[in-house]
Amino acid sequence: MIMMIVAATAATVFAKKYDMLYKNPDAPIADRVEDLLGRMTLDEKVGQMNQYVGVEHFRANIGSIKPEDLKNNTAQAIYPGITPDTLEKWTEQGIVGSFLHVITLKEANHLQQLAMKSRLAIPIIFGIDAIHGNANCPDNTVYPTNLGLACSFDTAMAHTIARQTAAEMRAMNMHWTFNPNVEVARDPRWGRCGETFGEDPYLVSLMGAATVKGYQGNLNSRNDVLACIKHFVAGSEPMNGTNGSPADLSERTLREVFFPPFKAGVDAGAMSLMTAHNELNGIPCHTNEWLMKDVLRGEWKFPGFIVSDWMDIEHTYDLHATSTSLKDAFYQSIMAGMDMHMHGIYWNKYVCELVREGKIPESRIDESVRRILNVKFRLGLFENPFADEKTTMKVRLCPEHRATALEAAHNSIVLLKNDGILPLTAGKYKHIMVTGINADDENIMGDWSAQQKPENVVTVLEGLRAAAPDATINFVDQGWDPRNMDPAKVSAAVDAAKNADLNIVVAGEYMMRFRWTERTGGEDTDRSDIDLVGLQEELIEKVAASGKPTILILINGRPLGVQWAADHLPAVIEAWEPGMTGGTALADIIYGKVNPSAKLAITIPRSVGQTQMTYNHKPSMYFHPYVVKPSTPLYPFGFGLSYTTYKYSNLHLSSSEIASDGTIDVSVDITNTGSRDGVEIAQMYIRDCFSCVSRPVKELKGFSRVSLKSGETKTVHFSITPDKLRFLDRKMQPIVEPGEFKVMVGASSDDKDLLTASFNVK
């Protein structure tokens, strides 16, 4: 009773001092949330659950897009019958909770100022697709995209990039990134492979968790932003390889392949999650009660809020046809567990009607609003709703962040083939011909990148010229568009190749969003094959036919089947989307300033016919091999070359048996047997030899970046613990079965690169 009186007295003091308790920064956040929630009207509550595109984005698309185009358009947006002025008025009325596609600090501050005029002055939370840095906005550091970052197997770097991204976002008054994408990429046709951390659940889980922690920190400072783990779930194994198409998967596959990275993200503290475009086993993810309530809330105890993806609640009506109207779609989604709607003008009207009609309890609305307000309070938006335009550029694009971007690019570039031509010796090749669609284009930054000032981006051509000032570099431009290459320009490159000492072709895909309909890679840019588009293959073959050494550099966000180049060229480099310093990073590797260390986070198939080609397949997958062409990948998961060589030896287990609660220490000696210092990424795989349900032939369960000087030997240790042996039995219960297991340690997932030992589970 005394405690209740003290609490009531404290609340009264707070209220008197600050007029309203929720405005007191020293009051407990839970109390502030309840105080504010109690003052809100239904319209204000439902408004907090709705998000709109920014007014400048809206203005830019008026007249350029028709209402009927909205169903299939995920880049532009308009609100038929509504003007930008109306949207600003709603913000002043306090019935807008969030904006996305606000890409300037000036607009963010302007909209926040409007929100401050509302009755309760609840701040806006601004969301942005800051996938590899806040790259979707100009004048920010652009890091390598997630797939390249994953090839570094460097969780500390993932954390650092996320921290720096958070600082640049807050310097622009942006608070919420729609990243990390922790989907497990299983189909190279899918255009969003580059947005993920690859094909392995273990690697994706660790990279995703590090990224979440980097963004959010303690979620209580002005340098923290809200992370969003997405897309829940299974959109990365679409039926026909296209974004948003159905996924039809067993619960076993979901729980063993696709769920683990999301569970890791929840455990890492992620406070928002986005559901997936696709339907899962016939039920759209946006109205899937099993996913949102049973798994996410019930099993994993997720405390944050769930946000829809772009118009996907509406698509349960106009696409999936599992809702009978927009109003029914909103009803189904909210009752299944949805908290915030991205984006649109009908939400507020219909959801308020559903509550007033008694179909949705207002208490259910309160649940969602509590979660949203909790995050806004934790981010300090009530105390600091604005960012300073005078100091913003002291943070964005600062030297420290650019240095991180360069280091990350160095560590993300995979050397796939090298017959000894690399690294180039300064002065050996005095006449170099450079060509290809990605040789001199900002496309090197990758998907989710806005146009940047030219001085902020180093293209491949610029990087090579800076690294080799004494060489004559002849650039033969092929344009940026692979689908419309000019045969005359191809011929010009072929002629120039004959007069060069060395030829470099920079090929791949085109991802820049400001030419949305002309891209060949990235979101909603899916392929029916994985070949090089247009005349690129012809360009490579004809340049190589000059008889002069030819190097291929790939800039792309999905695995490409470059079989001919792998068979005929002396060197192939997979650069992925290396970011704004990518040209410098590539030149540093080509000229030997940096020894490449990256390893593939995704398998590269020989052709689209090998889909699905993943290293952790089941034992029967190739019981009957393909005829005519090999059943092996072009390059396996975990593969990557160096300018030095490494020897693995003395694989040792601390015990030949492990109890259900025990640990085995695995050690291996790695020796740098070459003449250069380097970094080797050692990998540990495990296989359950005999089990009650079929298990993968191997699964990654440990990795380590090992720095080794020439001639140096280090002993590397891994731990085998029961959680790394656990799987789901026939009744879908987690189990560690007794019996024999194999542990494999080496340089890649390829059997020939692995040392093997056995142990038993008691």
- Kindly report, residue by residue over 137-171, the tens digit of the pLDDT: 999 999 999 999 999 999 999 999 999 999 999 99
Model's pTM, two decimal places? 0.96
Among 125, 98, 687, which residue's Cα sits nearest to residue 381?
125
Is 486 among the catalytic positions? Answer: no
Residue-level pLDDT at 664: 97
pLDDT for residue 412 is more than 80: yes
- What is the average pLDDT across 656-684? 96
Domain map (residue ranges) of the chain: 1-39, 43-393, 412-596, 646-761
Band of residue 744 on the pLDDT scale cut at 50, 70, 90: very high
pLDDT for residue 6 is more than 90: no
Residue-level pLDDT at 650: 98
Contacts of 352 (CB under 8 A, 6+ apart): 42, 43, 46
Structure-model confidence comparison of residues 81 and 525, the more confident one: 525
Q: Assign domain 43-393 one CATH number from 3.20.20.300, 2.60.120.620, 3.40.50.150, 3.20.20.10.
A: 3.20.20.300
pLDDT for residue 449 is more than 80: yes
Per the listing, tokens 């492990």 go with: 658
Contacts of 409 (CB under 8 A, 6+ apart): 143, 144, 148, 578, 579, 581, 582, 584, 585, 586
DSSP string, 299-345: IT---SEEE--TTHHHHHHHTS--SSSHHHHHHHHHHHT--BEES-S
- The catalytic residue among 35, 154, 187, 309 is 309
Residue-level pLDDT at 14: 47
pLDDT for residue 3 is more than 70: no
Q: Which phi and psi angles does 652 have, rounded to 5°?
A: -140, 135
43-393 and 412-596 share one fold: no
Q: Tens digit of pLDDT for each residue in 225-253?
A: 999 999 999 999 999 999 999 999 999 99
Q: Does domain 412-596 have CATH number 3.40.50.970?
A: no
Residue-averaged pLDDT of the chain: 95
* b (16+ CB within 10 A) / e for 602-620: bbbbbebebbebbbbeeee
pLDDT for residue 279 is more than 60: yes
Residue-level pLDDT at 81: 81
pLDDT for residue 13 is more than 90: no
762 neighbors 659 (Cβ within 8 angstroms)? yes
pLDDT for residue 2 is more than 60: no
**Angle at the Cα of 177 (from 172 to 179), degrees rounded to 5?**
145
Q: Is 564 exposed, middle or buried (0-12, 13-18, 19+ CB in 10 A)?
A: middle
- What is the average pLDDT across 366-381? 98
pLDDT for residue 67 is more than 90: no
> Which CATH superfamily does the domain covering 646-761 fall into?
Immunoglobulins (2.60.40.10)
Q: How far, CA to CA in Å, does 363 sit from each of 38, 270, 303, 367, 760?
A: 12, 24, 17, 6, 53
Residue-level pLDDT at 5: 43
Residue-level pLDDT at 359: 98
Interatomic CA distance for residues 219 and 359, integer angstroms: 35
| Helical residues (DSSP H) of 185-275, grouped into ranges | 201-216, 251-253, 259-267
Pairing mode of beta strands 754-761, 664-672? unpaired
- What is the average pLDDT across 527-549? 98
